[in-house]
């Protein structure tokens, strides 16, 4: 078990990581989700022992390892900017941690070939990294992490340089591999969709703070605050400030929304409601969908889906609609919001009601 106890990192008098408590269990997959500069890499460096916390402590299996250097910890690390030994073959790059730990030749050969097959590197075992593509070099670094049999595996956006098909395959396979090994697996990403695909647990980060930690699907469905909800949304989360009055939600002069059942217990007054772009559509898919009038700004067609940017009474929204919708700018359109998926937040940004479904 890896435990951070009020661990923090300050640089030049400013927090890069605010004091945080975090417990990661053996055999678990843990995603660090947040935008660039949110603190993901800084947090991983504290976990690994590359940096010492300015405040607090780091514990592994009950022992205080705060001052222990990374060389004395059983840690494997893979970065987006891959690191390989340039003069060694792919085979020897993968084998290197096992040779250092004194494994016998038969074990090394078996494990190298097993990892190479998983990473689609078998035809390249005799090549040096300079004779590989960027994706092949990244897979070599991943394979080396696989064979190290580390207690803690840290991956900082490790699949960013791979082609789409292989990236999707490895997203599915990697959690299984590390769960079977009993290692603690920490995976940093900027992509909410990647966190959802990986599953496990997710810690959302914003400006050096862990805003929430728990089972990935629960953090997504029940964000503790508006910051977490925004972090776990791609395309960006839609939100609007309204006044709840009895059975309606009102925004300035744009009309009203009916209060859905799961928000009925909220007291009257100002509230921020939020929803994901795919809960807004051009047709009424359910009886719970409320009709709203908006104006288009721009349409982005991705192939099977369209992102339609809208102006609703001065508020900017994004709608994710199935199919091709090339709508001229400044066109009046009726859109339908499935109110079952509204999340509600108070004036302090804390969640006061989660979506019903």
Q: What is the rounded CA–CA span in Å between residue 207 and residue 215?
A: 21
CATH architecture of 2-231: 3-Layer(aba) Sandwich (3.40)
* pLDDT given at position 254: 66
Query: With 90 as the cut, is the pLDDT of residue 38 above it?
Result: yes
What is the overall mean pLDDT for the chain?
Answer: 90
Which of 169-173, 200-204, 276-280, 317-321 has the least mean pLDDT?
169-173
What phi, psi does 162 have (nearest 5°)? -95, 155
pLDDT, one tens digit per residue, over 43-69 is: 999 999 999 999 999 999 999 999 898
* pLDDT given at position 178: 64
* pLDDT given at position 96: 94
Q: Which residues contact 265 (CB under 8 A, 6 or more apart)?
A: 353
Backbone angle region of 343, left / alpha / beta, with phi > 0 → left and psi within -120 to 50 → alpha: beta
* Segment 2-23 mean pLDDT: 96
* pLDDT given at position 43: 97
Enumerate helices (H) and strands (E) in the chain, giving the number of each.
8, 21
Q: Reduce the DSSP state of residue 263 to 3 states and report it.
A: helix
Query: With 90 as the cut, is the pLDDT of residue 206 above it?
Result: yes
Q: What is the rounded CA–CA span in Å between residue 323 and residue 296?
A: 17
Task: Return the percentage of the chain with pLDDT > 90, whole number.
Answer: 65
* pLDDT given at position 14: 94
Q: What is the rounded CA–CA span in Å between residue 71 and residue 60?
A: 15
Q: Reduce the DSSP state of residue 228 to 3 states and report it.
A: helix
pLDDT, greater one: 149 or 280: 280
Q: What is the rounded CA–CA span in Å between residue 71 and residue 69?
A: 5
* Segment 243-260 mean pLDDT: 85
* pLDDT given at position 31: 96
Nearest residue to 78 via CA among 169, 187, 171, 218: 187
* pLDDT given at position 357: 58
Query: With 80 as the cut, is the pLDDT of residue 186 above it?
Result: yes
CA angle 191, 319, 243 (to 5 degrees): 105
Task: Return the percentage of the chain with pLDDT > 70, whole number.
Answer: 96
* pLDDT given at position 91: 97
> Is 166:12 a contact under the CB 8 Å cutoff?
no
May I ask the CATH class of domain 238-353? mainly beta
- Confidence label for 168 from pLDDT (cuts 50, 70 and 90): confident
Q: Which residues contact 63 (CB under 8 A, 6 or more apart)?
A: none
> Is 41:187 a contact under the CB 8 Å cutoff?
no
Q: Domains of the chain: which residue ranges?
A: 2-231, 238-353
* pLDDT given at position 53: 96
* pLDDT given at position 229: 96
Let me know if 15 is exposed, middle or buried by CB neighbors in 10 A (0-12, 13-18, 19+).
middle
What is the layout of strands, in order, in the sheet containing 289-301?
280-281, 332-338, 289-301, 305-312, 315-322
> Is 169:159 a contact under the CB 8 Å cutoff?
no
- Confidence label for 76 from pLDDT (cuts 50, 70 and 90): confident
- Confidence label for 165 from pLDDT (cuts 50, 70 and 90): confident
* Segment 114-139 mean pLDDT: 89
pLDDT, one tens digit per residue, over 267-295 is: 999 999 999 999 999 988 777 788 999 99
* Segment 6-26 mean pLDDT: 96
Q: What is the rounded CA–CA span in Å between residue 198 and residue 48?
A: 22
* Segment 119-140 mean pLDDT: 89
Q: What is the rounded CA–CA span in Å between residue 219 and residue 221?
A: 6
* pLDDT given at position 95: 96
Q: pTM to 2 decimals? A: 0.87
Query: With 90 as the cut, is the pLDDT of residue 82 above it?
Result: no
Q: What is the DSSP string of 23-84?
A: EE-TT-EEEEE--TTSSHHHHHHHHHTSS--SEEEEEETTEE-TT--GGGS-EEEEESS---
* pLDDT given at position 101: 87
């Amino acid at each position: 078990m890896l435990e951070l106890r009020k661990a923090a990192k300050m640089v030049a008098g400013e927090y890069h990581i605010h004091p945080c408590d975090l417990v990661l269990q053996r055999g678990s997959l843990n995603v660090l989700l947040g935008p660039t500069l949110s603190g993901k890499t800084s947090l991983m460096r504290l976990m690994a022992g590359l940096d010492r916390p300015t405040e607090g402590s780091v514990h592994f299996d009950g022992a205080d390892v705060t001052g222990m250097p990374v060389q004395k910890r059983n840690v494997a690390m893979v970065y987006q900017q891959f690191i390989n030994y340039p003069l060694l073959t792919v085979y020897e790059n993968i084998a290197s941690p096992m040779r250092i730990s004194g494994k016998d030749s038969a074990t090394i050969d078996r494990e190298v070939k097993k990892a190479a097959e998983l990473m689609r590197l078998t035809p390249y075992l005799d090549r040096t990294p300079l004779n590989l593509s960027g994706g092949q070099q990244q897979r070599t670094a991943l394979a080396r992490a696989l064979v190290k049999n580390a207690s803690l595996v840290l991956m900082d956006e490790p699949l960013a340089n791979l082609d789409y098909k292989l990236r999707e395959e490895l997203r599915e396979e990697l959690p299984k591999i590390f769960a079977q090994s009993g290692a603690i697996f920490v995976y940093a990403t900027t992509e909410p969709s990647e966190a959802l695909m990986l599953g496990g647990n997710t810690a959302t980060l914003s400006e050096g703070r862990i805003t929430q930690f728990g089972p990935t699907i629960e953090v997504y469905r029940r964000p503790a605050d508006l910051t977490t909800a925004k972090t776990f949304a791609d395309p960006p989360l839609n939100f609007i400030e309204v006044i709840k009055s009895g059975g309606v939600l009102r925004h300035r002069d744009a009309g009203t929304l009916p209060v859905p059942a799961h928000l009925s217990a909220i007291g009257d007054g100002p509230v921020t409601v939020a929803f994901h772009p795919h809960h807004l559509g051009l047709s009424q898919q359910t009886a719970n969908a409320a009709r709203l009038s908006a104006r288009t700004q721009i349409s982005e067609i991705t192939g099977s889906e369209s992102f339609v940017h809208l102006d609703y009474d001065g508020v900017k929204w994004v709608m994710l609609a199935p199919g091709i919708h090339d709508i001229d700018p400044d066109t009046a359109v009726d859109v339908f919001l499935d109110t079952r998926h509204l999340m509600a937040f108070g004036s302090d940004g804390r969640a006061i009601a989660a979506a019903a479904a």
